Copies of this chain bind each other. A is one copy, B any other.
Amino acid sequence: MTGLPVLLRTVAEVRSAVAAARQGGQAIRLVPTMGALHDGHGALIERAERDGGLVVVTIFVNPAQFGPGEDFDRYPRDMERDLAFCAARGVDLVFAPAAEEMYPKGFATKVEVAGVGEGLCGASRPGHFAGVATIVAKLFNIVAPDVAYFGQKDVQQVAVLRRMAADLNFPLELLIVPTVREPDGLAMSSRNAYLTPAERAAAPALYRALRKGAGLLDGGERDPGRVRTAVAEEIKAAGAFRLVYVEVVDPDTMRPLDRVGDRALIALAAHLGKTRLIDNVLWPGEGG
């Protein structure tokens, strides 16, 4: 498919486009985004396109998942570029609602996920995952996808949404696509656009530190405390960061491990100037 994707602004339009596709026997595939699309999103879209059917990309900078003082206002927005990005990848349908379409006057409902949503970014961004779970529950009901695509970079978001989808019996599958990285290892993120050239040059230290932690586990280390310390020291050595957390957790529950067994996730968040970055590696992992 070439040409621009169909750009829809209302829930009603999406429902009718999706219903028509479903009537035609197509599977429905959802890629929820906040726009400012990069090759990480590209990997999600390409996977969805490969899987076939109607691919719906949503672009919505969701105010409910930003806290006071966070970067909602300056979050990058460029619809024209995003549409071209989607067009180049054969996306059928882009849903980019206004805030009032998603949160009309009187809106009062919140989906909260305890446990997996509480530590890590949940601790430093109170309300963030409730905002994510609520908007994604809405998108699941609006688009009614067979499969929804998310990136491994947002690993705790994935854990929260898996829990939410299972707990609320959403009849769909979540498909997780590996993190896409710049050649120097920095995880792709819309927020990388905030970085000054000096910060951008320092940023790959995060992934380097995570690799160092995974290397310790490869070498037989089983004490999460030592892994955390090694990762934190690597980041400290890079100079530019304020570390928010580094944790070695169970990849399913997101709970800190007392001791590393068969699997672990090393996850971190750090501020680099005014930019908050996150990254993680699964161990043992697909090259990371």
Contact = CB atoms under 8 A, between A and B. Distances in A.
Given A109-B163, A163-B108, A141 B115 contact: no
B109 A110 contact: no
A27 interface: no
- Count identical subunits in the complex: 2
Nearest to A172: B141
A140 to B, nearest CB: 9
A137 interface: yes
A164 B115 CA distance: 23
Contacts of A253: 106
A138 to B, nearest CB: 5
Interface residues of A, number: 29
B111 A115 contact: no
A117 B107 CA distance: 12
Interface string A126-167: 000000011001100110100000000000000000011001
Interface in A109-124: 109-117
Given A108-B116, A109-B167, A137-B168, 19 more contacts: A15-B171, A106-B115, A107-B167, A108-B113, A108-B114, A108-B115, A108-B163, A109-B163, A109-B168, A110-B113, A110-B114, A111-B112, A111-B168, A134-B168, A138-B168, A138-B169, A141-B168, A141-B170, A144-B171
Interface of A: 11, 15, 106-117, 133-134, 137-138, 141-142, 144, 163-164, 167-171, 253
